[in-house]
Structure 1
């Protein structure tokens, strides 16, 4: 009997590990293309500004507006997904997001004008928004207790990895494949990731339980090795209704004790994404104006995003140990200091070090924020919470390219531009510290 029980436990552990691996891997590679899209426009923007024959004449301000179209799409896609992900499920929305995003990137590669390019960028943003809003919820519902921030960071490190890959491919391939080829690479998920996810991506047993579909949840839990928690069972049985916090989706997110942390985390995400998109869109141009060559400027982009991968993995382990709030606040503070130090006269190696720390305090911090949100709220509002963070936060993503374009177009000194961005990082740190402790039933 002991041997049988031991064998059963081992088999349960193997199934759980296998399915968690698939969830994290598919989420990671999906977000690689989100990160790729984040940076690819910044890599081709200097060419658009200097060569009107590509998509027509562009001023820096117009280039910033065009860069924001994708972010508007992310906002719309994430918020629309937030209204249905806690009702329709995680899996089908992730599959739709993979296919939609890839098709939109292919369309963008064929654009013949700034208007067509903008439409393609907006459409791609819709898919990215849906993916961002759903991935964090699914990972949180498969990750083991005490390691949720780590697995969230492993998954969302795909964004920084994709951003780094985009900058690297631009350095190596942009001259040979052109801007159309750079966008066409973003269509690869349609023939790679999507068919694999159809076969391997599981639904969330916790979501099924929270929707009252107990038999399906138990069957899926048995197949995947997931152990359903008492919190999920209570949510499904409606026991939280008596506390006034049993509503699902956005209705539950903005009621009771959920509202204050949801608003604060939303504005924290706005701050962080404003920094992320301002730097990723305009850093090559800013460093070019500081006297660096085109490939040298792209190297700053490579370091900015490469450092975020390492920083968020270290930060996630600290978040699992000490809680995400102090870690996120500290990361913002480090980012503020590093961005401010970009104004000093220093050797190239020192400047690259400052950029690396800035990457930890911007792109790396956004990943920690997603983990903060995904594990702060209960199952029935988790999808809406991540969607809110990804969607509402995209107001900052929209504002980032616009802010950079306005500051540069207005002739603001290079140092002043960096000081403005450093001040925004300080605001993000303060907002993080104001977030109340985890609400009842949040884990």
Structure 2
């Protein structure tokens, strides 16, 4: 038996690798659905409660506020108590919040519950990113993270299709109830069948760590350990952002924050305004929802393709290429009058490039930090990005109100996605070693 963590550079893909990444994919899919359900249900609960436009804006913002707080202040606990524990906590928050949302008696309670659900979603995204990264052979880690991340986009597509068919039958309350029940079903499944990260177990060494590590090693064709390696980091404190800004990580942390902020800014402008852009392009209002679904389906395909290529080429360069082409496509989309027949092709292409490249940011963030602060690093990168997510749609509303036109808006929001691509060219490309 070995006394040190084995090298797994040529480790084959085993069933446990696949099922763990599948769990991460499903959790991201549920998150994507939970985020978008409120947009799809908005016309119905707006009529039910006579919601003013100002209150509707608060409902949309409430989820983002909760997601930001969850990413910044709950996700770091995964670096002390485990990825699995935090995912279970996040899923419980989401399940309870969605079920209670279906019973909300007024808009004020509903807004509070959107913040609560957002806490679970924000902490979940960082935790599943870390787990997917740590549960794949090194050669396939970028692919594993992008596959897991693609669940978010697919969840948004599925949510739209389900909402269109379910709300007329059971109302918007039934839609939220079903979403909460599905999340609750994932709790026992993940409790019994989803493993903990071995990198976390080796770095933090909780009770029965050696036994749990060797059980996973046995299932993934790695030789067992006779003893645990020496602990390097303090295992008692929850890592904070000061650790991320230490001399070792400061440069890459600030670059990541900048890339996430810029990418979120463009992405959330697009996701917020694509339906209106579709109407302006001549699409009937009742079909505008399919523009959002097309955008997210393009994102799903783009994520998978980027992850597959990233198993062979430089991830940072691929992200820069995706964002660079996206910049050009957005400008062309605004400059050239698009026949309605080609509108969906262009929306698909923009989703493919923008959100496809965006998914690569998760993998890039996960590999910048050792296991002891990985979820903290991803969480704070997401938290920094959420400020861009808030600012992007707000700025979009201002620019549309100023009458800058389609070309002006797409030039304005092509700039940050292009900037994110440039930032990635300066980000360190080597993966941080666990426990470093």
User: TM-score if structure 1 supplies the norm length?
Assistant: 0.85
Q: 1:138 matched to which residue of 2?
A: 131
Structure-to-structure mapping, 1:22-421, within 5 angstroms: 22-45=19-42, 47=43, 53-59=47-53, 63-213=56-206, 216-225=208-217, 227=222, 236-238=230-232, 250-343=241-334, 344-410=336-402, 412-421=404-413
Q: 2:6 matched to which residue of 1?
A: none
Contact 1:38 1:280 in 2 (8 A): no
For residues 87 and 257 of structure 1, do their structure 2 counterparts lie closer, same or farther at Cα, with a shift above 3 Å needed? same
Displacement after TM superposition at 1:72 (Å): 1.0
For residues 117 and 412 of structure 1, do their structure 2 counterparts lie closer, same or farther at Cα, with a shift above 3 Å needed? farther
Tell me how far apart the structure 2 counterparts of residues 319 and 195 of structure 1 sit (CA, whole Å).
Answer: 33
Displacement after TM superposition at 1:174 (Å): 4.1
Contact 1:86 1:249 in 2 (8 A): no
Displacement after TM superposition at 1:96 (Å): 0.8
Quick check: which one's helix share is greater?
Answer: 1
For residues 219 and 287 of structure 1, do their structure 2 counterparts lie closer, same or farther at Cα, with a shift above 3 Å needed? same
Tell me how far apart the structure 1 counterparts of residues 416 and 295 of structure 2 sit (CA, whole Å).
Answer: 17
Tell me how far apart the structure 2 counterparts of residues 282 and 261 of structure 1 sit (CA, whole Å).
Answer: 32
For residues 104 and 297 of structure 1, do their structure 2 counterparts lie closer, same or farther at Cα, with a shift above 3 Å needed? same
Contact 1:68 1:399 in 2 (8 A): no
Tell me how far apart the structure 1 counterparts of residues 110 and 74 of structure 2 sit (CA, whole Å).
Answer: 24
For residues 201 and 439 of structure 1, do their structure 2 counterparts lie closer, same or farther at Cα, with a shift above 3 Å needed? closer
Tell me how far apart the structure 2 counterparts of residues 210 and 228 of structure 1 sit (CA, whole Å).
Answer: 18
For residues 275 and 118 of structure 1, do their structure 2 counterparts lie closer, same or farther at Cα, with a shift above 3 Å needed? farther
Listed one character per residue, the Cα deviations across residues 106-163 of structure 1 (whole Å, up to 9, x for unaligned) are 2223334443332121111100011111111111221101110111111111101101
Structure 1: gaps of 5 or more residues: 1-12, 242-246
Number of equivalenced pairs = 418
Displacement after TM superposition at 1:374 (Å): 1.0
Q: 1:4 matched to which residue of 2?
A: none
Listed one character per residue, the Cα deviations across residues 271-327 of structure 1 (whole Å, up to 9, x for unaligned) are 222222222233213322433223321111111011111111111122222221111
For residues 355 and 228 of structure 1, do their structure 2 counterparts lie closer, same or farther at Cα, with a shift above 3 Å needed? farther
Listed one character per residue, the Cα deviations across residues 345-375 of structure 1 (whole Å, up to 9, x for unaligned) are 2223322111112112232222211011112
Q: Give the secondary-structure state (helix, strand or coil) at the position aligned to 1:257.
A: coil
Displacement after TM superposition at 1:209 (Å): 1.1
Structure 2: gaps of 5 or more residues: 1-10
Displacement after TM superposition at 1:217 (Å): 3.2
Tell me how far apart the structure 1 counterparts of residues 15 and 259 of structure 2 sit (CA, whole Å).
Answer: 34
Listed one character per residue, the Cα deviations across residues 68-127 of structure 1 (whole Å, up to 9, x for unaligned) are 211111110111124322111111110011111121122223334443332121111100
User: TM-score if structure 2 supplies the norm length?
Assistant: 0.86
For residues 57 and 205 of structure 1, do their structure 2 counterparts lie closer, same or farther at Cα, with a shift above 3 Å needed? closer
Stretch deviating more after TM superposition (197-206 or 360-369):
360-369
Displacement after TM superposition at 1:202 (Å): 1.3
Tell me how far apart the structure 1 counterparts of residues 185 and 344 of structure 2 sit (CA, whole Å).
Answer: 34
For residues 277 and 182 of structure 1, do their structure 2 counterparts lie closer, same or farther at Cα, with a shift above 3 Å needed? farther
Stretch deviating more after TM superposition (107-116 or 86-95):
107-116
Displacement after TM superposition at 1:199 (Å): 1.1
